Amino acid sequence: MRRLLVLGAGTAGTMVVNKLRRRLPRAEWRITVVEPSDRHFYQPGFLFVPFRTYAPKKVSKPTRALIADGVDLVDAAVDRVDPAAGRVHLTDGRTLDYDYLVIATGVTPRPDQTPGLLDGGLWRRRIFDFYTYAGAVALAGALDRFDGGRLVVHITEMPIKCPVAPLEFAFLADAWFRRRGLRDRVELVYATPLPGAFTKPIASERLASMLDDRKIAVEPDFVVERVEGLSLFSYDEREIPFDLLVTVPLNMGAEYVARSGLGNELNLVPVDRHTMLSTAYDNIFALGDANDIPTSKAGSVAHFAVDVFVGNFVEHVAGQPMTGSFDGHANCFVEAGDGKALLIDFNYDTEPLPGTYPVPGAGPFRLLDEAAVNHWGKLAFRWLYWNALLPGRPLPLPAHMSMAGKHQPAAKE
C-alpha cells in the first residue's frame, strides 16, 4: 500500500485529497490528511464579516464533512518533517510515514513579528486584523463603535494572502461610512510597502484612481519598523498616527517548515513554479499559500494549481514525466463598495488587462471595470466554494489563463 500524506485541510489540501481519492486506486493507495482544526473557514468571507454582510456562522463548516470518504483525517498539529526517513512527527508524539508528501498548511498572520504591534495593549482594542476569524469578528464590533477619526489600512510586507483584500477593505470602509453618514468625519489612509496600489502597472493605475476618487490617501513605500502608541513608524522614520488601525501583519508559513529545514526565511517551501515539486526532494510537493511561487497567494491560485497538480501527480508516481505546467493563473474579484466590484485575471507573464471573462465579449464579468455583476459573482462564489470547489468537482474555468477577451488599454496621449 502506497501512502500519500497531506499536511493541512485548507483550500488546497482539501481539494487535493478529494480529487486524488477519485484518481488513485483505493486498493493501492492510502490517503491521509493532517489538520488540527475541526472547522474549515471560508477565508474570503472574513472581508465581509466586519461590515455585517456575512454573519460569522456563514464562513465556516466542520472539517470532517468536507473530506471525501476513504480519506483518513488525523486531528493533530505537525511538529516536524523528517524527509530522509519519509516520516512526519506530530506534536502529540505520534508519527506518520509517507511515500509522498503534500505540504498545504498555508500562511498565518504573525503580528508578533512587528515590534510594538502586540505590546501596547491595543491589540483588538484599537489595532485589528481581518485575516483571521477572531480578528474579523472583533473588527465588526470596532466599526460599529467608530464614529470618526483616522482609520489606517496597513500592509506590513508582501507576500500576503489575497493581496487585493486590503484595498477591498478600504473601498468597503468608504462605502460603509458614507451609508452611515460619517464619511466626512473619517480620514481614510492606505499604507503599503508597494510603490503603488498593486504590483502590476495597469491594475495599479486603475486601483489608484479609485482610491483617489474616494479621497483615500495613499502612503506608498511605507515599510513599517515599529508601532509606538497610536502611530506607525517606517524604517525611514515616517510616522502615520491612527485612531483605528486595520493591519495585515507579516504572513509566514508554518513553524514546522522551518524546524524541518524545508523553507525559506518566511517558512515558504521552495518549489518548481510549474509543477509545485520541491526543489530539494522528489517526493514532496507544496501547494496553495505554503510554497514560494511568484504569484498571488489566493484561493484561485490554489484552485488552478491543484487542477494541474493532480494530473502531474498521477504521472509522477507512475514514473512518468509530468506534462502539466502551471502558468501562475490567478483571478480575483475586487470589491469596490456600493454593490460593485472589479475582476482581475493574470498569470506569471501577463498582467491584469481590461476585457471580459470568461467568454470573450459576453463575459458576463468585466475585467478592470467596476460592475454589479462582478459583485454578485464574488458573493455567489461562496456557494461554489462549498459545493463544487472543495469537493473537487470540475468547474468550467480553464486552469491556464487565456488572452481571449482581453485587450491592451489605449495609450494615453
Dig out the grid coordinates for 206 from the structure. 486603475
> Is 90 exceeded by the pLDDT of residue 397?
no
For the segment 5-18, the average pLDDT, to the nearest whole number, is: 98
pLDDT of residue 36: 98
Task: Report the SS3 class of residue 33.
Answer: strand
> Is 70 exceeded by the pLDDT of residue 388?
yes
Indicate the fold that domain 110-250 takes in CATH: FAD/NAD(P)-binding domain (3.50.50)
Separation of alpha carbons 161 and 158, rounded Å: 9
* Per-residue pLDDT reduced to its tens digit, 37-90: 999 999 999 999 999 999 999 999 999 999 999 999 999 999 999 999 999 999
> Is 80 exceeded by the pLDDT of residue 153?
yes
User: What counts of helices (H) and strands (E) characterise the chain?
Assistant: 7, 24
Separation of alpha carbons 4 and 402, rounded Å: 33
pLDDT of residue 394: 85
pLDDT of residue 411: 62
For the segment 152-177, the average pLDDT, to the nearest whole number, is: 96
Q: Would you tell me how many other CB atoms lie within 10 Å of the CB of residue 22?
A: 10
User: Do residues 292 and 262 make contact, with C-beta atoms less than 8 angstroms apart?
Assistant: no
> Is 90 exceeded by the pLDDT of residue 395?
no
Maximum alpha-carbon separation in the chain: 67
Separation of alpha carbons 325 and 307, rounded Å: 10
DSSP letter string over 247-293? EEPEEEE-HHHHHTT---TTSPBPB-TTT-BBSS-TTEEE-GGGB--
> Is 60 exceeded by the pLDDT of residue 413?
no
* Per-residue pLDDT reduced to its tens digit, 272-322: 999 999 999 999 999 999 999 999 999 999 999 999 999 999 999 999 999
In percent, the amount of the chain with pLDDT more than 90 equals 94
DSSP H or E stretch at residue 185: none
Give the pLDDT band of residue 182 (cuts 50, 70, 90).
Answer: very high
pLDDT of residue 123: 97
> Is 70 exceeded by the pLDDT of residue 268?
yes
Residues sharing a CB contact under 8 Å with residue 278, sequence separation 6 or more, in sequence order: 262, 269, 270, 271, 284, 285, 286
Dig out the grid coordinates for 260 from the structure. 524541518
pLDDT of residue 412: 61
Residues sharing a CB contact under 8 Å with residue 211, sequence separation 6 or more, in sequence order: 167, 170, 190, 197, 218
pTM of the predicted model, to two decimals? 0.95
Query: CATH for 2-109+252-317, among 3.40.50.1100, 3.40.50.300, 1.20.1260.10, 3.50.50.60?
Result: 3.50.50.60
Q: Is 110-250 the same fold as 2-109+252-317?
A: yes
Structural domain boundaries in the chain: 2-109+252-317, 110-250, 331-389
Question: What integer best gives the mean pLDDT of the chain?
Answer: 96
Residues sharing a CB contact under 8 Å with residue 86, sequence separation 6 or more, in sequence order: 97, 98, 99, 101, 283
Give the pLDDT band of residue 380 (cuts 50, 70, 90).
Answer: very high
Nearest-Å Rg of the Cα atoms of the chain is 21
> Is 70 exceeded by the pLDDT of residue 31?
yes
- Tell me the sheet residues that pair with 413: none
pLDDT of residue 228: 96
pLDDT of residue 347: 96
